Amino acid sequence: MKGLTLPPSNHWNPTNTKAITKQPSRTLSTIPVQVSLNNNNNTSKNNASSRRNSLLSFAVDPSKAPTPIHQSQPPLVVVGSANADIYVEIDRLPQEGETISAKTGQTLAGGKGANQAACGGKLAYPTYFVGQVGEDAHGKLITEALEGRGVLLDHLNTVSAVPTGHAVVMLQSDGQNSIIIVGGANMSCWPEKLSDEDLELVRKAGIVLLQREIPDSVNIQVAKAAWSAGVPVILDAGGMEGPIPAELLSLVDILSPNESELARLTGMPTESFEEINQAVVKCHEMGVKQILVKLGAKGSALFIEGEEPIRQPIISASKVIDTTGAGDTFTAAFAVALVEGKSKKECLRFAAAAASLCVQVKGAIPSMPERKAVLNLLQSL
Q: How confident is the model at residue 39 (pLDDT cuts 50, 70, 90)?
A: very low
User: What are 195-246's pLDDT values in tens digits?
Assistant: 999 999 999 999 999 999 999 999 999 999 999 999 999 999 998 888 999 9
Half-sphere exposure of residue 204, counting CA atoms within 13 Å on the CB side? 15
pLDDT tens digits along 261-311: 999 999 999 999 999 999 999 999 999 999 999 999 999 999 999 999 999
For residue 176, the model assigns a pLDDT of: 80
Q: Confirm whether residue 216 is marked as ligand binding.
A: no
Distance CA 203, CA 8 (A): 30
40 phi-psi bin (left φ>0, alpha ψ -120 to 50, beta other) = alpha
Active-site annotation holds for 328: yes
**Annotated domain spans of the chain:** 17-24+72-79+112-156+190-380
320 is annotated as contributing to ligand binding:
no
- Give dist(CA 83, CA 76) in Å, integer: 20
* Residue 113, marked binder: yes
- 17-24+72-79+112-156+190-380 has which fold? UDP-N-acetylmuramoyl-L-alanine:D-glutamate ligase (3.40.1190)
Residue 112 assigned to a binding site: yes
Q: Is 298 annotated as a binding residue?
A: yes
Residue type for 315, please? I
According to the model, what pLDDT value does residue 239 have? 87
- β-strand 83-90 against 165-172: which pairing, if any? parallel
In tens, the pLDDT along 63-73 reads 333 334 444 67
